[in-house]
Structure 1
Amino acid sequence: MNIRTETGADYEKVHTLLTRAFPGQEEAILVQRLRADNSFQQELSIVAEENGKITGHIMFSQAALWEGGHAHSVAALAPLAVLPEFQRQGIGGKLIEEGKRRCRSLGYPLVFLFGHPSYYPRYGFVQARNYGMEMTQFTVSDEVFMVAELQEGALHSLHGEFRFHPAFEELG
């Protein structure tokens, strides 16, 4: 399996993957909107490829953690998708770990997500509200609002209100 940066030649295959992995078009539309934004970082859109077939995709986008009047630049993980016939083979985990490594190298202190509470903790994600993080942009339970520390001490030194990129608000 090859984990690599997505290229323009992958866009159609990733679109197909997203529509197969999720019901509806929301995730595919979100990825298109994030790619079109000036803040898009190509190296944070990552694919898993096996024998020339795109089997998985993950995207990280720039987000903000507002503390008082100051916004800390943080990352958001969404979406993560693996073709149904390739799920439960470790592809998602490899994409998460590579994405976290790239986010860390770009200087992001934290990465946030909404996700399954029994899956993401194995990759270092913890409940964000337990660390003084809030979310008002969307209504979500404590169990699915998670964060992972990318820079040592960031979970204890940064607090505030997390906000996804505005492209997330345009869905639905």
Structure 2
Amino acid sequence: MLIRPEQIEDATAVSHINTAAFGRPDEARLVERLRCAGVEMISLVAVVDTAVVGHILFTPVTVESDEQYFAAMALGPVGVLPEWQKQGVGAALIEAGLQACGEAGHKTVFVLGHSDYYPRFGFEPTRPYGIACEYDVPNEAFMVVELEAGALANVTGIVHYRPEFNEV
């Protein structure tokens, strides 16, 4: 399996992956809206032989309070074709994506996801940091990983996603 940056010719496969993985077109449409908006993204695909079987996306978010503004990245969506799930494709995408975020100079990554899955990659709940999500989500489902130790020292506030996420 090869993890590589998404290329323009992968767009159809990425759309199919996200629709199949989530059982609905919402996430595929989100990825397309973000592309059309020209958003700075880290977008990777997993390739087996010549087939694209998985996709992960990281987009910018901000942590805002009355006193501060902190830039970060958010993971999501991550999708794997159903026939390739539970074979390590998603984990490989997450690990490669976090590494790519760090190499690009990003210090933290947030995720809204399953609290029994993401901690294996270093994610932990945001609540102890005094950080919350702009969306009404369970505390345990909103997590963060510091790619640089201490990056969240003295950072508190609400995480705001790109407006394109409001339509999902």
Query: Which of 157, 162, 165 lines up with 1:165 in the alignment?
Result: 162
In structure 2, what residue type is equivalent to 1:126?
E
Return the TM-score normalized by structure 2. 0.95
Return the TM-score normalized by structure 1. 0.93
The C-alpha deviation readout for 1:19-48, integer Å capped at 9, x for no partner, is 11112111001100111223323xx10000
Q: Does 1:142 align with 2:142?
A: no
The answer for unaligned runs of 5 or more in structure 1 is: none
Taking the aligned partners of 1:157 and 1:99, their CA distance within structure 2 comes to 26
Report sequence identity in percent. 40
Q: How far apart are 1:71 and its partner, in Å?
A: 2.1
Taking the aligned partners of 1:103 and 1:151, their CA distance within structure 2 comes to 11
Taking the aligned partners of 1:70 and 1:129, their CA distance within structure 2 comes to 17
The answer for unaligned runs of 5 or more in structure 2 is: none
Equivalence for 1:68: 66
Taking the aligned partners of 2:5 and 2:54, their CA distance within structure 1 comes to 12
Q: Does 1:102 align with 2:121?
A: no
In structure 1, what residue type is equivalent to 2:81?
L
**Alignment map for 1:16-165 (pairs within 5 Å):** 16-41=16-41, 44-135=42-133, 137-165=134-162
